[in-house]
Structure 1
Amino acid sequence: MSGGFPIDLILFGMVAAFLVLRLRSILGRRTGYERPPTPVEPTGAGEEAARTIDTRAEEAVVPQLGGPGPKRGLPDPASPAGQVLARIRQIDPEFDPAGFLMGAEGAFAMIVEAFARGDRQTLQTLLSPEVFRDFEGAITAREQAGERQRTELVALRESSILEVDLRGTVATIGARFVSDQINMTYGADGTVTAGGEAVTETVDVWSFARDLNSADPTWLLVGTRSE
């Protein structure tokens, strides 16, 4: 047996490095999150703010929710959305629609959890400036009222790429999420003022945007709506 470096370790290292680079190209960068979330969602003025998302992750960890994995849907390649995805890949060959969708699923849970904690620092790195202002305003209103929110993301049932737009090198992708959630609002005295323990189905469409020529791989959340 020679004293050379084992070839299998060299190959393993090459594969590991490739996977790390791939994951970062899909999710972007993020710090400080490495555990499954217990997200919280506001009601009233803050409700729309809680439905905002971005796919920035330093060490991307897709939260493991209860039940089987979500049913995922990608546009038909011949559809208008599918054709725009193909144009995005021409500009950015590293873009992978399936990988984007998986990263968006993790971000869906991560953003809601950050809002629940009132974690402005994390949210500011994940959201566009306009969306962050909405979130920050909702958090401030909640704090001033002495309220506390609880949103438990019980299961993510479905995810799909719904809309795709490309203007110049700026791409925008709308992802649709169907989830089961428990939403409750607690007043300053600790009593429940809205919601309850019942599990309800929630349908959200979150839009992410990125300049494909940018060295930053992050897709920022730029818009939200509920269905």
Structure 2
Amino acid sequence: MEFFDFGTIFFLVAAVVIFFQLRNVLGRRTGNERPPFDPYTASRTRPAEPGKTAKNDTVVSLPRRKTPAESLEERYKVIDSVAQPGTELNRGLRAIKDADPSFDPKSFVDGAKLAYEMIVMAYADGDRRTLKNLLSREVYEGFVSAIDEREKRSEKIESSFVGIDKAAIVGAEMKGHEAHVTLRIVSELISATRDSAGSVIDGDPETVAEVKDVWTFARDTRSRDPNWKLVATEAEE
């Protein structure tokens, strides 16, 4: 009968110890984990599921909870930094902060800018799947109706997103348990619509145009779903 020598036993023991240490540190996956995604907080991205692209799996979300206890002054510090205390906007943002202590208006604006670009480009491309993830049912139906009409006429939009010059919160309120945040966004876009023959019938493929929009996003603060969706749009002259 052959026996393990001391070196063999040592490496076997070491391998078992390393395995259990790794399992304790990394945990065990069940296959049902859902990785967090928070585009409204500092440029996080959620990995795409097999067979899906990252842009089609995008959500608009906020961190769920803030565990450390905080004073009212600490709670509203981030609100007061973007809206003058005593104003209607400040009161609306404070109400949202009360309903969801993790709400941060500055991080929200960063995420809204990302969502704005995605929605504008998805509309130009006729990307219904991306739009459905980011729009309320009513807004989605309006966007899709316009896309359908455009496609029936065999028209196509050529669009290049240059960037966002300004994005600021101009309204905020709680409607029951639903938080609504309105932003004024000034962006630069190159856009042209061509007919079936390829002729430009609207816009200019060579000119950067300034676009002003007022968009409202909403989310049910009672829901475990962290998604924010676009619920209203208005073009500003």
TM-score between the two structures when normalised by the length of structure 1: 0.70
> 2:59 matched to which residue of 1?
56
> Structure 2: any 5+ residue segments left out of the alignment?
1-16, 26-34, 62-80
Measure, in 1, the Cα distance between the counterparts of 2:225 and 2:45.
Answer: 7
| 1:22/1:89 CA distance change after superposition, 3 Å | farther
Answer yes or no: is 1:212 the counterpart of 2:221: yes
In the TM superposition, residue 30 of structure 1 has moved relative to its aligned partner by 9.4
> 2:195 matched to which residue of 1?
187
CA contact (8 A) 1:29 1:57 kept: no
Answer yes or no: is 1:147 the counterpart of 2:155: yes
Measure, in 2, the Cα distance between the counterparts of 1:80 and 1:28.
Answer: 33
| 1:161/1:30 CA distance change after superposition, 3 Å | farther
Measure, in 2, the Cα distance between the counterparts of 1:28 and 1:163.
Answer: 27
Of the two structures, which has the highest relative contact order with CA contacts closer than 8 Å and spacing of 6 or more?
A: 1
In the TM superposition, residue 77 of structure 1 has moved relative to its aligned partner by 3.6
Deviations 1:187-219 (A, max 9, x none): 101111121121111110100111111111111
Deviations 1:34-90 (A, max 9, x none): 57xxxxxxxxxxxxxxxxxxx8259xxxxxxxxxxxxxx932243211122112111
Based on CA coordinates, which of the two structures has the bigger radius of gyration?
A: 2
* Alignment-mate amino acid for residue 112 of structure 2: A
In the TM superposition, residue 158 of structure 1 has moved relative to its aligned partner by 0.5
> 2:91 matched to which residue of 1?
83
Answer yes or no: is 1:132 the counterpart of 2:140: yes
> 1:201 matched to which residue of 2?
210
CA contact (8 A) 1:178 1:202 kept: yes
> 2:102 matched to which residue of 1?
94
Q: Percent identity?
A: 36
> 2:31 matched to which residue of 1?
none
Write the mapping of 1:25-64 to structure 2, written as runs, cut at 5 A: 34=54, 56-57=59-60
SS for the counterpart of 1:23 is coil
Answer yes or no: is 1:163 the counterpart of 2:177: no
| 1:132/1:101 CA distance change after superposition, 3 Å | same
> 2:116 matched to which residue of 1?
108
* Alignment-mate amino acid for residue 200 of structure 1: A
> 1:13 matched to which residue of 2?
none
Measure, in 1, the Cα distance between the counterparts of 2:134 and 2:37.
Answer: 19
In the TM superposition, residue 134 of structure 1 has moved relative to its aligned partner by 0.6
Give the RMSD, CA atoms, in angstroms: 3.0
In the TM superposition, residue 151 of structure 1 has moved relative to its aligned partner by 2.2
TM-score between the two structures when normalised by the length of structure 2: 0.67
Q: How many residues align?
A: 182
Measure, in 1, the Cα distance between the counterparts of 2:189 and 2:95.
Answer: 36
In the TM superposition, residue 21 of structure 1 has moved relative to its aligned partner by 4.9
Measure, in 1, the Cα distance between the counterparts of 2:85 and 2:195.
Answer: 49
